[in-house]
Structure 1
Amino acid sequence: MNDNSNVSVSADEFQALEQKVLRAVEIVKRERELRAAAEAEAASLREQITALTSMSDEAQTQISTMNQERDAVRLRVEKMMSQIDELL
C-alpha cells in the first residue's frame, strides 16, 4: 500500500496554498523594496548630515574669525576715542 493516499490534497486546497505562497512572495518582495528604499534614504540623510556638519563647522570658524576682527576693531576705536579725548 502506498502512503501517498494519506497525503492527498484536493485541487482547491492546493490552489489556495499556491495563492498563499504567491502572496507571501509578493510581501517579501515589497518588504525588500521598502528596505532598499529606506537604506538609500538613510544613506542620503547621512550624506546630508555630513555636509551640514561641515557647513556648520565652517560657519563657526567664520563667526570666530569675525568676533576676533570685531574685538580688534573695537580696541582700535577705543584707542582712537581715547586719543581724541586727550586732545579735547
Structure 2
Amino acid sequence: MKTISLKMPEDIYKKVEKYRKSMNKNRSSYVMEAVVEYTRKKEREELEEQLREAAKKTAQQYGKIKDELREWDNTIFDYEKHYGIEKE
C-alpha cells in the first residue's frame, strides 16, 4: 500500500471526525473508504460517458441504414412500376 498525506479545512476535519467516530472507524479507514467510493463514482461516470457515445454512434449508424433501406425500397418500387410487376 502507498501512504499519502492529506490537508483539509478545519470544518471538514471536524465532520470527518464526527462521522468516523460514530462509525467506530479509524481515520485512515474512513478516508480510504471515501476515496474508494469517490473513485468508483468517477469510474461509473466515465463508463456512462462511453455508453452515451456508443449509443450516439449506434443511433447515427441506424439512421444511415434506415436511409439506405428506404432508398432500396424506392429503387425496387421504381423497378416494379417500370416493368409492371405486381406484388403478391
**TM over 0.5, shorter chain:** yes
C-alpha separation in 1, matches of 2:50 and 2:76: 38
1:44 to 51, 57, 67: 57
In the alignment, is residue 65 of structure 1 matched against residue 88 of structure 2?
A: no
Task: Tell me which residue corresponds to 1:18.
Answer: 31
Task: Between the two structures, name the one with larger relative contact order (CA 8 Å, sep ≥ 6).
Answer: 2
CA distance in 1, matches of 2:36, 2:83: 68
* Identical aligned residues as a percent: 11
TM-score (norm: length of structure 2): 0.66
CA RMSD after TM alignment = 2.2
Letter of the structure 2 residue corresponding to residue 58 of structure 1: E
Q: Does 1:34 align with 2:47?
A: yes
Structure 2: how far apart are the matches of 1:15 and 1:39? 36
Count of equivalent residues: 65
- Corresponding letter in the other structure for 1:30: E
Please say which structure displays the higher CA radius of gyration: 1
CA-to-aligned-CA distance 1:16-37 (integer Å, 9 cap, x gap): 0011011011101100010000
TM-score computed with the length of structure 1 as normaliser: 0.66
Gaps of at least 5 residues in structure 2 are 1-13
